[in-house]
């Protein structure tokens, strides 16, 4: 059965954490938290033009001078489940994602800010918008590790080669390559900044287009974060200019290490850092 949120005031009770709201509550894009995730990830460290990062930051978020333009490009194969065994309905709930995190500062705290993100699933778009991730629809692929030995298996081992790509509307936005070298003993040392987003919902009523009802700076809260099987190696990353997109403003000037890892966490909450309204 669906874990439902009862909407107060509805005479016929309508259920759902997001639209569509129904009496049965079987079909909202998003059911109420907890939201559980597990993933295989490729993350490419790189440096872009610090001015391009600065130009994308929302009010109150400032450039991290020490980072000198450092960013990470992530590709993720996700499996999602809520309280209703969603993981056994992979046609609806398994999905792929790609995003950029740029290093920045909020009140002297180093954070990652997410200006661009793509996903291939409508439930993931809806959860993302609810958190503040500016998700658009894209098509993502990354090389997977299979357990049956083969030239096609890409095992977690020195020398294994991985590729990944993200496209939207038939335009390639980023392509990455990674060759594994070493297993990382302590993954916690690599990815330890909190992630900050801008949660935003537009206003269409005329004369109020400049007054969005939701415009907040939010902090992603992840319970039970686990990072496993993390490997590092030499990486490549390209982000060609594409008409109708702006993500290439963050194209790499220099590429650092690439990482391949497993990551899981649970989401039940969100912290609002600033309200811009």
Residue numbers 21-80 binding a copy of itself by CB under 8 A: 21-27, 29-30, 32-33, 36-40, 54-59, 77, 79-80
Phi, psi of 187, rounded to the nearest 5 degrees: -60, -25
Q: Is 139 in the site for a copy of itself (CB under 8 A)?
A: yes
| SS3 label, residue 237 | strand
Minimal distance, residue 23 CB to a copy of itself, in Å: 4
Cis bond before residue 260 (omega within 30° of 0): no
Minimal distance, residue 64 CB to a copy of itself, in Å: 15
Nearer to a copy of itself, 45 or 227 (CB): 227
Q: Is 1 in the site for a copy of itself (CB under 8 A)?
A: no
Selected binder of a copy of itself within 109, 157, 254, 271 (CB under 8 A): 271
Selected binder of a copy of itself within 102, 105, 154, 273 (CB under 8 A): 154
Selected binder of a copy of itself within 47, 184, 229, 234 (CB under 8 A): 229
Minimal distance, residue 46 CB to a copy of itself, in Å: 18
Phi, psi of 226, rounded to the nearest 5 degrees: -130, 135
> Hey, which residues between 176 and 215 contact a copy of itself (CB under 8 A)?
177, 198, 200-206, 209-210, 213-215
DSSP 8-state class, residue 15: B
143/157 Cα distance (integer angstroms): 14
Q: Is 99 in the site for a copy of itself (CB under 8 A)?
A: no
Q: Is 222 in the site for a copy of itself (CB under 8 A)?
A: no
The sign one gets for the Cα dihedral 156, 252, 246, 175 is negative
Tokens of 217: 């700076």
Minimal distance, residue 256 CB to a copy of itself, in Å: 19
Selected binder of a copy of itself within 109, 158, 192, 268 (CB under 8 A): 268
Cα 44 off chain centre by: 14
Tokens of 150: 């083969």
Tokens of 76: 């993720």
Minimal distance, residue 267 CB to a copy of itself, in Å: 8
Nearer to a copy of itself, 46 or 119 (CB): 119
Q: For the CA atoms of the chain, what is the radius of gyration?
A: 19
Selected binder of a copy of itself within 109, 157, 158, 228 (CB under 8 A): 228
Helix (H) or strand (E) holding 51: helix 50-56
Rounded to whole angstroms, what are the CA distances from 17 to 2, 65, 91, 221? Answer: 11, 40, 20, 18
Selected binder of a copy of itself within 66, 85, 159, 189 (CB under 8 A): 85
Q: Is 20 in the site for a copy of itself (CB under 8 A)?
A: yes
100/83 Cα distance (integer angstroms): 29
| SS3 label, residue 220 | strand
Selected binder of a copy of itself within 49, 110, 167, 190 (CB under 8 A): 167
Q: Which one, of 273, 246, 262, 255, lies nearest residue 56 by Cα?
A: 246
Selected binder of a copy of itself within 67, 101, 111, 143 (CB under 8 A): 143
Q: Is 239 in the site for a copy of itself (CB under 8 A)?
A: no
């Amino acid at each position: 059965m669906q874990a439902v949120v009862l909407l107060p005031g509805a005479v016929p009770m309508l259920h759902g954490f997001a639209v569509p709201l129904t009496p049965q509550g079987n079909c909202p894009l998003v059911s109420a938290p907890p939201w559980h995730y597990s993933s295989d990830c490729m993350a490419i460290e790189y440096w872009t033009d610090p001015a391009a990062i600065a130009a994308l930051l929302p009010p109150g978020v400032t450039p991290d001078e020490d980072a000198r333009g450092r960013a990470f490009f992530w590709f993720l194969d996700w499996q999602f489940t809520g309280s209703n065994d969603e993981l056994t309905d992979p046609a609806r709930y398994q999905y792929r994602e790609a995003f950029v995190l740029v290093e920045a500062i909020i009140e002297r705290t180093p954070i990652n800010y997410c200006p661009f993100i793509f996903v291939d699933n409508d439930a993931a778009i809806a959860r993302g918008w609810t958190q503040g991730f500016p998700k658009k629809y894209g098509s993502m692929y990354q090389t997977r590790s299979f357990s049956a030995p083969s030239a096609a298996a890409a095992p977690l081992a020195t020398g294994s080669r991985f590729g990944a790509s993200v496209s939207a509307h038939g335009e390639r936005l980023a392509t990455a390559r990674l060759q594994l070298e070493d297993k990382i003993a302590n993954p916690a040392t690599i990815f330890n900044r909190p992630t900050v987003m801008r949660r935003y919902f537009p206003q269409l009523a005329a004369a109020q287009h400049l007054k969005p009802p939701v415009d907040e700076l939010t902090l992603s809260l992840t319970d039970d974060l686990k990072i496993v099987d993390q490997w590092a190696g030499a990486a490549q990353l390209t982000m060609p200019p594409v008409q109708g997109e702006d993500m290439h403003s963050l194209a790499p000037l220099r590429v650092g290490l690439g990482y391949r890892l497993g990551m899981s966490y649970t989401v039940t909450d969100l912290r609002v850092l600033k309200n811009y309204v």
